[in-house]
Chains A and B, each alone.
Chain A
């Protein structure tokens, strides 16, 4: 088994554990490269099926191509897709001009919480990776949140030998992270190997490409001439730029992501 085989086998094992342990479960699909790889792994784990709904948290500020791609793939894969928007916050005028962290909290974190409450999901599967950002590097595969989805990162249960914490008090909520051990390069090497369809915003046009996708007002393309997957892999091997350099909310505060994630951000 090579390195990608090992990552694939581990992620599939975790997906199957999650599916076996929780009766109300869903997967978060952000349309980006990681959660699209995760969707592919779900189809592998369950032999061509996707036995739980996918959730897309739509802030209404997403890059329009993302929504088009989402609807196309959902139809092609015959997905049970839940699209949720925090209408209430939008009515009250929420938007990035109110402050990026405030906006992220309302349109993403709070919106996510609304879906969880509405459908009473016990657990959510997310495509976060350790190498994306410092606070994500500290995550567990099965990560307990309290009723308000808050994360107590200073007191996480031990997790070893693939024996995950799967017993929880009533009312708690669990985040499952099958891609924790993958890196950005692994994701692209896997996309290439498996020939997974990804959105073409990742490929360079006029000397710029997106490395990480988010909302249009807060996500900026980085300089790049990578027009193919091979170009991207080569670029990543040599880059000095952080993956989330184009994500404005990260730059607001040295510990911005940690603060957002503690409150339930993905």
Chain B
């Protein structure tokens, strides 16, 4: 039996634009709700003397039905011949934004509902922004209540223009715009004859056209330890594989410490549940060969995998839902997969009003419902990925007191100065990446620079002239093109750091601070090189590229290795 595909879709938009009605109609027309539920809604509507309310199929709470608003998110299953859907109805009301985010955060695709008569409203914008922040890129815009604008193509086009020019700014590019009337059932499960000008599919058919993402099982292994059990003679490490695969015999590394061991067995109950290999999404248990002390929060990767970051600072995009504003230098709890640590916001780099998308200048705090770019410092080092590389290990929540108050995605490592290697002499400082390793990552098809031991070398210190992906002679000079500095490496040690002006060519090889060999072999050549360098305008990328291609040999001391 092949597994049926499941796609999770969230429906978002401004209050009263018809989210629950669209879903209710979809369920009703495809006969996906039991007759009993329909009977119940009919009875309630009759008691209140109003026409059949499709939204009541979802808005089950008494307050929701009486006030005609969705308070909390509901999930409903629903199937087409192609696959199964989980439809998540998210509240549009501003007070219930946290419920909307709870719903949206678990979705793979989204329907953004806009009222044809009202156009883009505050919550439409906010919700669209949150979709972009949550990394949801599969979006259809549903223009609802087309009956209110006489099914006019011209007006539909105006609305489409209004929405798309707004969404462009958020880097949200809807794949389709579908005009519907949920109340009348136009373009929901069947093509509407009231809008013959619309050449696309009705909503139901369009849903099947969303394409599902590549599964996490093809990415590098991330196995966060959830708990360690000793109920009997076995000492079982339990947890869920966030990505990748694992089998008995695999060599593993347990981060952040980097202890190395081997998987002894995959554990299971009952007997007939025996599995040889486990993969992303599964909740599993393993035993390992070495009896290390292991604890919740550690992350198991394959032994040769150097792609998981271990650091105490990173940049993040976050949304804030807390009762109190998010401020700098206050202690919050950060939870990232099963890791938990105290953290502080060390800088608020940008705060955006999610409605207007205007940047709030020099913000000292992030208000409820705002979104921000921040730099976070954790008390202990934690392991994470960039959200782009791995969504599960690239996102986190912040807890203020007892409440989950914000969520965010990891944008990258923070504060380059702390993560880079430096050569220093008194107050002169040269940042170098010539001792970094470069790996070509097979699953992603990208090259990633890996800074093995970012550290500072003072005059007299030995530098690592031999790495996995580079190899330099014992003695050479390093040139920093921007700062016009020269570092002299003699017998493997940093011997001096001087300005380019005071340097005479020493007939030793020269490399750039990035590790590229400079094609200079004589005093004459060095003179020409220096003359061109001084004229170089560093902001002009075209000439910089020409200069680099002319003078540098990119592969002389360097190579790329394949990594995972």
Binding site for B on A (CB under 8 A): 1-3, 5-6, 8-10, 12-13, 16-17, 19-20, 43-49, 51, 130-131, 133-135, 137-138, 153-154, 156-161, 163, 165, 167-169, 181, 183, 239-242, 245, 254-255, 258
Contact of A16 among B71, B238, B270 (CB under 8 A): B238
Q: Is B282 in contact with chain A by the CB < 8 A criterion?
A: yes
**Interface class of chain B by DSSP:** mixed
Report B216 CB to chain A, min CB distance, Å: 11
Near A by CB (< 8 A), chain B positions 54-102 give 60-63, 71-75, 77, 84, 98-99, 101-102
Q: Which residues in A have their C-beta under 8 angstroms from that of B34? A: 239-242
Given known contacts A156-B72, A165-B404, A9 and B285 CB-to-CB distance under 8 angstroms: no
Given known contacts A154-B63, A183-B77, A258-B61, A6 and B6 CB-to-CB distance under 8 angstroms: yes
Report B334 CB to chain A, min CB distance, Å: 10
- Please determine whether B36 and A254 come into contact, CB atoms closer than 8 angstroms: no
- How far apart are the CA atoms of A19 and B238 in the complex, in Å? 12
Binding site for A on B (CB under 8 A): 1, 3-4, 6, 34-37, 40, 43-44, 60-63, 71-75, 77, 84, 98-99, 101-102, 105-106, 226-227, 229, 231-232, 234, 236, 238-240, 267-270, 273, 279, 281-283, 285, 296, 321, 333, 335, 392, 395-397, 399, 401-404, 407
- Please determine whether B99 and A156 come into contact, CB atoms closer than 8 angstroms: yes
- How far apart are the CA atoms of A241 and B37 in the complex, in Å? 9
- Please determine whether B283 and A137 come into contact, CB atoms closer than 8 angstroms: no
Which B residue's beta carbon lies closest to that of A8?
A: B283
- Please determine whether A158 and B98 come into contact, CB atoms closer than 8 angstroms: yes
- How far apart are the CA atoms of A132 and B232 in the complex, in Å? 37
CB-based A-B contact count at 8 angstroms: 149
Report B100 CB to chain A, min CB distance, Å: 9
- Please determine whether B281 and A1 come into contact, CB atoms closer than 8 angstroms: yes
- How far apart are the CA atoms of A167 and B334 in the complex, in Å? 12
- Please determine whether B3 and A3 come into contact, CB atoms closer than 8 angstroms: yes
- How far apart are the CA atoms of A239 and B36 in the complex, in Å? 10
**Interface class of chain A by DSSP:** loop
- How far apart are the CA atoms of A8 and B40 in the complex, in Å? 32
- Please determine whether A47 and B269 come into contact, CB atoms closer than 8 angstroms: yes
Contact of B269 among A5, A48, A183 (CB under 8 A): A48
Given known contacts A48-B270, A167-B399, A183-B77, A158 and B404 CB-to-CB distance under 8 angstroms: yes
- Please determine whether A163 and B402 come into contact, CB atoms closer than 8 angstroms: no
Given known contacts A47-B236, A242-B34, A138 and B74 CB-to-CB distance under 8 angstroms: yes
- How far apart are the CA atoms of A43 and B44 in the complex, in Å? 43
- Please determine whether B102 and A9 come into contact, CB atoms closer than 8 angstroms: no
- How far apart are the CA atoms of A20 and B224 in the complex, in Å? 14
Given contacts A6-B6, A153-B71, A158-B102, 12 further A-B contacts (CB under 8 A): A2-B4, A8-B283, A13-B226, A43-B270, A48-B269, A49-B231, A137-B75, A138-B73, A158-B99, A159-B404, A167-B399, A239-B34
- How far apart are the CA atoms of A138 and B61 in the complex, in Å? 8
Q: Which of A1, A17, A19, A163 has the most CB of B within 10 A?
A: A163
- Please determine whether A242 and B36 come into contact, CB atoms closer than 8 angstroms: yes
| 16 cross-chain CB contacts under 8 A | A1-B281, A6-B6, A9-B283, A13-B240, A16-B283, A44-B268, A47-B231, A47-B234, A153-B72, A154-B61, A154-B63, A160-B101, A163-B335, A167-B402, A254-B40, A258-B60
